[in-house]
Amino acid sequence: MLLEVKNISKSFHIGTHTIDVLKNISFQVERGKICTLLGPSGSGKSTLLNIIGGIEIPDRGSFYFDGIEISGHSEKTLGCYRRKRLGYVFQSYNLIPNLTLKENIESGAYLSDKPLDVNDLLYTLGLWDRQDQLPSQLSGGEQQRTAIGRAVIKNPDLLLCDEPTGALDYKTSREILALLEKVNQKYECTIMIVTHNEAIQRMADQIIRLHDGAIRSNENNTNKQKAAEIAW
């Protein structure tokens, strides 16, 4: 089991007002699988992902990564965890504006003990021709592919994607999904995708639904499809 989440709760306090964003969340994800996290807006998907990513600290509960407890550790340990084990992709691409595409990807490679080959990855991403361009000179899809490249080049055990297609059009979204599938197969990395696009779940091995901060359902997809076959 790569990831084990146990009884995680999280609340935010605004003045005297308390919002319980996550209520007693527990689930597991197996190594090498694609897992989607679905739910309406405000249900706490990003918060959960950020907790798994070590960016946010849960109020209660714990989670284990590769059998080691991660929650409750210091900022430094969390940083090390992110650095060595995780990749992160966001809806907004958050590239470093004054680095070229290739350099943005290299900023990920630098962190890894076992990075993938940059040039090989650039081909896989379909970005070979664009490698010397700055983020502002790229389309949204290209920027997102770069962001995925930056996360994947670390050769992470777990790739966290928060609405990776949220800002993209239909065609480009499908390309990104195909890329994620390719990454999953080629580099055997586990992927968690947060989305509210119901169609994306069809390419997943595991589907978790959140509602109002609680898990509504957690099931394995018995009818997994190829990314290329998905349409919506």
Partner 1 sequence: MKNPLNKRIPRMLTGNAGKMVAVLLFLVLSISLASGFLVAEHSLRIGYDNTFEEYNIEDGHFELLKEMSDPLAEVLKKEKLSIFTLFNKDLEIKENRVLRIYPVREEINRIALLEGAMPETDEEIVLERLFAGNNGYEVGSNVKLGAKAFWVSGIVAFSDYSSLFKNNADGLFDNIRFGIAGVNQKAFDVLEYNDLHYTYAWKNHDPDLTPEEKNDFADKILDIVKEHDLIKDFVRRADNQAICFAGEDFGNDRVFMMVFFYITIVIIAFLYVVVMRSTIELEAKSIGSLRALGYTNGELICHYSLLPLLVTLMGALIGNVLGYTLMKDAFIYIYTKSYSLIPAPVLWNAEAFVLTTLVPVLIILLIIYGFLPALLSLPIQKFLHNDLSRRKQKYAIHLGKLSFFTRFRLRIIFQNASAYLVLLVGILLGSLLMSAGLMLPPLLENHQQEVLDNQICAYQYILRMPVETADEQAEKFAVQSLELGEGTVQVLGIEDGSKFLPVASQGLQTGEAIFSNGLTSKYEIEKGEQLVLSKKYTDDTYSFELGDTVYYPAGFTIFISLDDFRTIFDCDDTYFTGYFTDHKLDDLEDIFVASIRTEGDLTFALDQLMDSMGQVFKVMAVFSVILFFVLIYVLSKQVVERNQQSIAMLKILGYENSEINNLYHVTTGLTVIFSFLISIPACKFILKIIFKQIMTKYIGWFDFYVAPWVYPAVVVSGLVSYLIIYVMQSKRTKGIYTAEFLKEME
Ligand X SMILES: Nc1ncnc2c1ncn2[C@@H]1O[C@H](COP(=O)(O)OP(=O)(O)OP(=O)(O)O)[C@@H](O)[C@H]1O
Instruction: State the residues that interact with partner 1 by CB under 8 A.
Output: 50, 53, 55-56, 76, 79-80, 82-84, 86, 88, 90-92, 94-100, 103, 106-111, 132-134, 136-137, 150-151, 154
Pick between residue 41 and residue 223 the one whose CB is nearest to ligand X.
Answer: 41
Q: The dihedral of CA 145, 147, 153, 155: what is its sign? A: negative
Secondary structure of residue 171 in the 3-state scheme: helix
Q: Does 165 bind ligand X (CB under 6 A)?
A: no
**Distance between CA 10 and CA 213 in Å, rounded?**
9
From the CB of residue 204, how many other CB atoms can be counted at a distance below 10 Å?
A: 22
Q: Pick from 195, 186, 189: which is nearest to 168 by CA? A: 195
Q: Does 54 bind ligand X (CB under 6 A)?
A: no
Please report which residue ranges of 153-201 form alpha helices under DSSP H: 170-187
State the binding partner of 44 from Mg ion, partner 1, ligand X, none, CB within 5 to 8 A by kind. ligand X
Minimal distance, residue 204 CB to ligand X, in Å: 17
Secondary structure of residue 7 in the 3-state scheme: strand
**Distance between CA 186 and CA 101 in Å, rounded?**
22
Minimal distance, residue 210 CB to ligand X, in Å: 7
Minimal distance, residue 184 CB to Mg ion, in Å: 22
> Binding pattern to Mg ion, positions 27-66, x when CB under 5 A?
-------------------x--------------------
